Amino acid sequence: MSKIAALTDHLGYWLRQVSNHVSQSFARKLAAEDVTVAEWVLLRVLYDEPSMAPSRIAETMGFTRGAVTKLADRLIAKDLVVRAADPEDGRAQTLALTAKGRQCAPKLAALADQNDAECFGYLTNHDRRALRQILEDIVARLALDSIPIE
Amino acid sequence: MSKIAALTDHLGYWLRQVSNHVSQSFARKLAAEDVTVAEWVLLRVLYDEPSMAPSRIAETMGFTRGAVTKLADRLIAKDLVVRAADPEDGRAQTLALTAKGRQCAPKLAALADQNDAECFGYLTNHDRRALRQILEDIVARLALDSIPIE
DNA sequence: TATTGTTATACTCTATAACTATA
DNA sequence: TATAGTTATAGAGTATAACAATA
């Protein structure tokens, strides 16, 4: 006879609590600009490229191609993104920011800055660096795990 | 003219990456037992109490009452939870684990242990403790923020 | 045959609000 | 009037698979 683990015994639990709060706080800020968190990610990815294929975006963002299509449809409806045919490959499409999308990005980035400051600003520099380093290490490890064994 | 923040400049981004991966990994394990992450949380909360009112559960889990009702409906359909009327207050209901629910909980707790070990086991003890301490501090701070100013 | 992208479907989670019954 | 809980609705995110067009 033994006691079973409590919810609070798992790092995953604490991570979920904090991450959900931070993301929801960010989502509320973005909602004022009529943008969701996933839409912001796609806009930010496109901000660094003149144009990008949906399949490459899906790979970069860790989304499925279907999800990128749906996301792009919404952003196109808001005139933040344009879809164009690839002249070299009849199957391929490319996505790019519109002028409005490019103009909108800095405002959204400022909201992301503000949200991070509100959620983590009171931490010491030491704790912020430690948290970031551990999280980056975990992500790097995940990337390794997803590489097929040679 | 200035560059705007990258996705990777925000702690919220790294937190979301890791938390989503950990939760999805856990969800896949729970799916083998036909349980979702939110259902596990409710089951685990009920495991420590003979019975509990939906409103108290909602408060404890940070869910709305409507969400608890829907979650409870699913768990009742799976014969893991029972709903009963409160004899003292005609408006009130109580939720409790069934024998099957109580029997199921340790297996689910073991999956939670396993998932945490897989996701964080390779970290040093120092890093695991540091991560947990920082996350708990942030949650404590959130709890403070949600208390109305006197 | 394989690949690119879209479309369709479905389910979880989350949030809001209307509603019923009781206090 | 206020409270407890349910019900209805909706949108976001995620996943899978079927599909059309092209390679």
Give the per-residue pLDDT at A146: 63
pLDDT-derived band at B2, boundaries 50, 70, 90 = confident
Task: Please report the DSSP string for A97-121 in residue order.
Answer: E-HHHHHHHHHHHHHHHHHHHHHHT
List the alpha helices (DSSP H) in chain B: 11-31, 37-47, 54-61, 65-77, 99-120, 125-145
Structure tokens at A101: 């999308």
Q: How far is the CA of A114 from the C1' of C7 (A)?
A: 38
Give the per-residue pLDDT at A144: 74
Model-level pTM? 0.94
What is the C-alpha to C-alpha distance for residues B48 and B109, in angstroms, rounded to an integer?
A: 13
Structure tokens at A30: 């973005």
Burial degree of A81 (CB within 10 A; 0-12, 13-18, 19+): buried
pLDDT-derived band at B11, boundaries 50, 70, 90 = very high
pLDDT averaged over consecutive 10-residue blocks of chain A (150 residues)? 91 96 96 97 97 96 96 97 95 98 98 97 96 96 64
Q: Which of B12, B131, B141 sits opposite A115 (nearest CB)?
A: B12
pLDDT value at B106 more than 80:
yes
pLDDT value at B147 more than 90:
no
Which of B3, B8, B9, B18 to mutate: most A Cβ within 10 Å?
B18
- Mean pLDDT (whole number) for B121-140: 96
Structure tokens at B105: 């909980």
| Beta carbons of A53 and A47 less than 8 angstroms apart | no
pLDDT value at B28 more than 60:
yes
pLDDT value at B74 more than 80:
yes
